[in-house]
Amino acid sequence: MNEQERFVVLGRPRRIWAVGAIHGDVDRLAALHDDIGARFQPGDRLVYLGNLIGRGPRVRDTVDELLSFRRAVLSVRGVIVSDLVYLRGGQEEMWQKLLQLQFAPNPIEVLQWMMSQGVDATLAAYGGSAYQGVAAARDGAVSLARWTGQLRTAQRAAPGHDTLFAALRRAAYTERRQDGLPELLFVNAGIDISRPLAAQGDSFWWGGGAWHRIEGAYAGFRRVVRGYDPSHGGPAATPHAVTLDGGCGFNGALVCGCFGPDGELLEVVEV
């Protein structure tokens, strides 16, 4: 996968609206869309920071709401396709791996771990169950491939869902300033500050434990912004790191931060 397929360069936007983890809570997402939709203007960017799915019981409705809002925003004169960005979170990464479960050396253990992490809601949304998966895995790779194929077929049958999942990127960042330094880096859950951006790998999804180590500008970025905190510490902001997770999917709020072109956090919206 080349850099263009992994990362999104946001340019020098007027404002950036960054949406934290949703976890299938379509009611909170719709309320947030009502709020920011009335204020989103040409020149703005909208970045969803991953964990769109999983946990909540209305995964398909959540994806449909994302697609519906996308159509509404793109109908505004001056708004273009690249103004809306969707990042891959841990939930989306697990779902992609689940659809390839037949290639795992220990598929039953992998599936059980995924279920403990909340992927069961997404599995149910596309007509599957852990029981079916375990039974297929016990029957062998051919049976398991048939089961994951049925899940992919169900995803494709939902209009726009396949396209949205294919559009997910690993991170997004603003263009460099005149002095050569970028402002903002947007990720799902974490980064490994000992590695360059191109070598982060799955740290974007599972590297949240090292978030407290960000005490300076990582790779020249003024601030790193994430949408999911695995320790559930709530929204937080320091000069170099911002967390936009109010516990959505865990009986908490959905959080959106609005950033200025210089990286300043202008506003936090919670619904």
Residues 178 and 254: their CA atoms lie apart, in Å, by 34
The values of phi and psi at residue 103, to 5°, are -95, -5
pLDDT value at position 178?
62
Residue 12's φ and ψ, nearest 5 degrees, are -120, 75
CA dist 22 and 161 (Å) reads: 16
Distance separating alpha carbons of residues 91 and 56, to the nearest angstrom: 11
Nearest to 206 by CA among 179, 226, 185: 226
Say what the pLDDT of residue 182 is. 64
Q: Which residues of the chain have pLDDT under 50?
A: 1
The pTM of the whole model exceeds 0.85: yes
Which residues, 6+ apart, have CB-to-CB distance to 104 below 8 Å? 97, 110
The tens digit of pLDDT for each residue in 189-209 reads 999 999 999 999 999 999 988
Taking residue 35's Cβ as centre, other Cβ atoms within 10 Å add up to 15
CA quadruple 225, 227, 233, 236: dihedral sign: positive
Measured distance CA(179)–CA(215) in Å, rounded: 22
Cα separation, 214 vs 98, whole angstroms: 32
Per-residue model confidence as pLDDT tens digits over 19-63:
999 999 999 999 999 999 999 999 999 999 999 999 988 999 999
Structure tokens belonging to residue 30? 């719709």
Q: What is the pLDDT of residue 138?
A: 96
Confidence (pLDDT) at 176: 72
Nearest to 169 by CA among 193, 185, 156, 152: 185
Closest CA to 267 of 105, 40, 31: 40
For domain 3-89+168-270, give the CATH superfamily.
Metallo-dependent phosphatases (3.60.21.10)
Query: Domain-by-domain residue ranges, the chain?
Result: 3-89+168-270, 92-161
- Find out whether 165 and 152 touch, Cβ atoms under 8 Å: no
Instruction: Check: CB of residue 145 under 8 Å from CB of residue 67.
Output: no
- Tell me the CA distances in angstroms from 108 to 28, 90, 112, 119, 195, one per residue in order: 34, 19, 6, 14, 32
Torsion sign, CA atoms 195, 196, 199, 200? positive
Phi then psi dihedrals of residue 39, to 5 deg: -115, -10
